[in-house]
Amino acid sequence: MEARVAADQVPGARAGERALVLVGFMGAGKSTAARTAAAELGVEAVDSDRELERRLGEPIQSFFEREGEAAFRAREEEVVLELLAGARGAVVALGGGSVQSEAVRDALRVHTVVQLEVDPVDAWRRASGGGRPLARDQGRFEQLHRDRQPVYAAVADAVLPPGGRDAIRAALPALMALAEAPEGTRLVWAGSASGAYPVFFGHGLIASGFAYPAEGRRFVVTDSNVARHHPVDGQERMAIEPGEERKTLAAAEDVLRWLARSGAERGDLVVAVGGGVVGDLAGFCAAVYQRGMRHVQVPTTLVAQVDSAYGGKTGVDLPEGKNYAGAYHQPAAVLCDPAALATLEPAELAAGHVEVVKTALIAGGPLWARVRQGGEPDLDTIMGCARTKLAVVAEDERDAGRRQVLNLGHTVGHAIESATSYARYRHGEAVGIGLLAALRLSGRDALRTEVSELLAARGLPLTFEGATVDDVIALVERDKKRAGGRVPFVLVEAPGEVTPGHHVDADQLRAAVEEVHGG
């Protein structure tokens, strides 16, 4: 079946040769999603498995069983290459195993490739029982699922979590917009109970002037440091003074009144360009301005790119407590440009690295494997951290349970920040020390040594000064009372096995804090 559609109707089709190609494991719903997307775009849907069966003149299953996998893969490659060469403007669903071919992977480079994720248990439920040759043994099936993930990830421009037709339909405008973003930009579709949104990761996104969503006037909120290095166009701009001291209700009032004076309406966009301070403040203003307008996060610090820009927590500090006034308000999009980090002060970058290590410990697997090697955070690492946070938030948007794992290292870290009046350590630096205490409390000595080496390599402090052990313990206890008497410790069994809500004995806590006390 050759696609004969207007080539300018699909993402990236300006050159007239791109197709939207869906890849993913068996049971991910590629065929249905391709039909849905094609119908929305008014183009043709192509299904490589159906086309292959047509050419073979028999079901894949019988050919596979008679001729063997190698013969099947050869025929599959031939057909897929032909389809991709002629797929201008179409939406193509590719057979799950076809991306194992290097020639197919090469041919995919000119197209917009979307990976549809699927939980292996759901995939097994959908794919087994139908006689598929590779879906007969659940253990092997799940292993194959694990083995294929890096292959899909390597070819995908965009990743959609499981979500069926609704997800592809909702994501289509963002997929279309990828064509306007700098070469190499990738997209992750973030889902949460209160809304789904695209996260674009691309070098040079800010300088390129890439803007998403396109509709609405853009009210850019930034700080004066960021404005100097990374000016972003908008109809209106406001730059606050940099620093946590400006994450206040008074600053929020300034921003809100500026929005009102400028005639901002609910259909307009607040665009937060900066670190976590600007992101939290501007997000909060967007949450409350006329009871809620959309906002876009453009994170420019490592902390913001791996953590604070995602998940919808917005807010400001009160003199009585950090982040004491706030709202959950998911962004309409996040534009993450690692090139922005080039102008960040080295100490800020190092402090952000603590969040990278923390997130990699939560994720385990390939992300931890990459982060433990050291090295500068690149697009893959930042994306891996963002995806880890997004996955945690998707499970528990409002901090009822699972989301608390993101507080790994924060119980002692917060106490150190607070005991030193928020003046001596950056948040990330204090969390790094807290992370070491958490690993001691977890009884993971080798991992603690490894993490302390990673932190030391960035010049981060491994011990705190300027407060006593008793000060810090008293503040941890105060946190505990606030949490209703339950010690809110997040502990690590191993990378990838991090759980909240652990009780810790007073003696153990004292020993762990003494160990990170530098006098």
Contact with ligand NAD (CB under 6 A) among 303, 362, 435, 467: 303
- Tell me the longest C-alpha to C-alpha distance in the chain: 78
Phi, psi of 274, rounded to the nearest 5 degrees: 160, -165
Spell out, one character per residue from 418 to 457, where the chain touches ligand NAD: x when CB under 6 A holds, - when not. ---------x------------------------------
Shortest Å, Cβ 156 to ligand NAD:
26
CB of residue 331 to ligand NAD, shortest distance in Å: 11
Please give the Cα distance from 501 to 491 (Å, whole number): 8
Q: Which is nearer to ligand NAD, 148 or 313 (CB)?
A: 313
Task: Say which amino acid occupies 305.
Answer: Q
- Pick from 275, 338, 461, 488 the residue near ligand NAD by CB under 6 A: 275
Query: Cβ-closest residue to ligand NAD?
Result: 276
Size of the site for ligand NAD (CB under 6 A): 29
Query: What is the Rg, in whole angstroms, of the alpha carbon atoms belonging to the chain?
Result: 25
Among 229, 398, 486, 503, binds ligand NAD (CB under 6 A): 229
Q: Which of 354, 324, 379 is nearest to 431 (CA)?
A: 354
The answer to whether 500 and 401 are in contact (CB under 8 A) is yes
226 part of the interface to ligand NAD, by CB under 6 A:
yes
Name residue 236's beta-bridge partners.
219
Q: What are phi and psi of 442, to 5 degrees?
A: -80, -10
**Nearest distance in Å: CB 313, ligand NAD:** 4
Residue 305 touching ligand NAD (CB under 6 A)? no
Considering Cα of 177, then 153, then 32, then 330, what sign does the dihedral take? negative
Q: Is 220 in the site for ligand NAD (CB under 6 A)?
A: no
- Contact between residue 256 and residue 231 where contact means Cβ atoms under 8 Å apart: no
Region for residue 357 given its phi and psi (left: phi exceeds 0; alpha: psi -120 to 50; beta: otherwise): alpha
Residue 201's nearest CA partner among 333, 99, 350, 331 is: 333
Spatial distance between the Cα atoms of 132 and 125, rounded to a whole number of angstroms:
12
| Pairing of β 20-23 and β 45-47 | unpaired
- Contact region with ligand NAD (CB under 6 A), list: 144-152, 171-179, 275-283, 438-446: 275-283
Smallest distance, ligand NAD to C-beta of residue 349, A: 9
The nearest distance, CB 335 to ligand NAD, in angstroms, is 13
Residue number with CB closer to ligand NAD (304 or 392)? 304
Nearer to ligand NAD, 302 or 509 (CB): 302
Nearer to ligand NAD, 42 or 346 (CB): 346
Rounded to whole angstroms, the Cα distance separating 92 from 150 reads: 21
Among 92, 259, 304, 504, binds ligand NAD (CB under 6 A): 304
**Does 334 participate in binding ligand NAD (rule CB under 6 A)?**
no
Q: Which residues bind ligand NAD (CB under 6 A)?
A: 223, 225-226, 229-230, 242-244, 247, 274-278, 280, 300-301, 303-304, 307-308, 311, 313, 323, 340, 343-344, 348, 427
